[in-house]
Amino acid sequence: MQWIEPKLLIADDDRDFRETLAEVFHRRGYATHLAADGQEALEICHARPQLHLVIFDVHMPRVTGLEALQHLRVHDCWSLPCILMSAQMDDRIVREAQALNPAGILAKPFTLRDLTATVEEALRRSYGWEI
């Protein structure tokens, strides 16, 4: 079986956090792109349509993760797997997120094992990949 290098976009306004996640996934063989907010994430999504998965922080400046996910669902791609994460997860956010068909919703803090398992499961469900 030919190895496909999964391409991830990690959007979080905490630079250290997103760079740490990028390093974690890079070590696992993923190509990563980074965005500091939802607007930058949308610009990257439009410039790189070959992305396989996006990880959005919910609370970011300019455009939130929920707003960015909603934009992707309405204007671009309903099927692109997206994972939402937040340190301030509440029932309203979960309900709004679930309406947008996310591949996962994670409350911070989470373990790297939880995140990588969520990403791998999303790629398996969306593309049939076993990573």
83-108 pLDDT tens trace: 999 998 889 889 999 998 899 999 99
What pLDDT does residue 76 have? 65
What pLDDT does residue 4 have? 79
- pLDDT above 80 (res 73): yes
Q: How confident is the model at residue 11 (pLDDT cuts 50, 70, 90)?
A: very high
What pLDDT does residue 130 have? 77
Contact 33, 45 (CB under 8 A): no
- Nearest Cα neighbor of 12 from 81, 75, 116, 86 is 86
Q: What DSSP string describes 88-113?
A: S--HHHHHHHHTT--SEEEESS--HH
pTM: 0.92
Average pLDDT over residues 69-79: 83
Average pLDDT over residues 10-33: 96
Give the bridge partners for 85, in sequence order. Answer: 57, 106
**Cα 82 from Cα 52, distance rounded (Å):** 9
**Cα 88 from Cα 86, distance rounded (Å):** 5
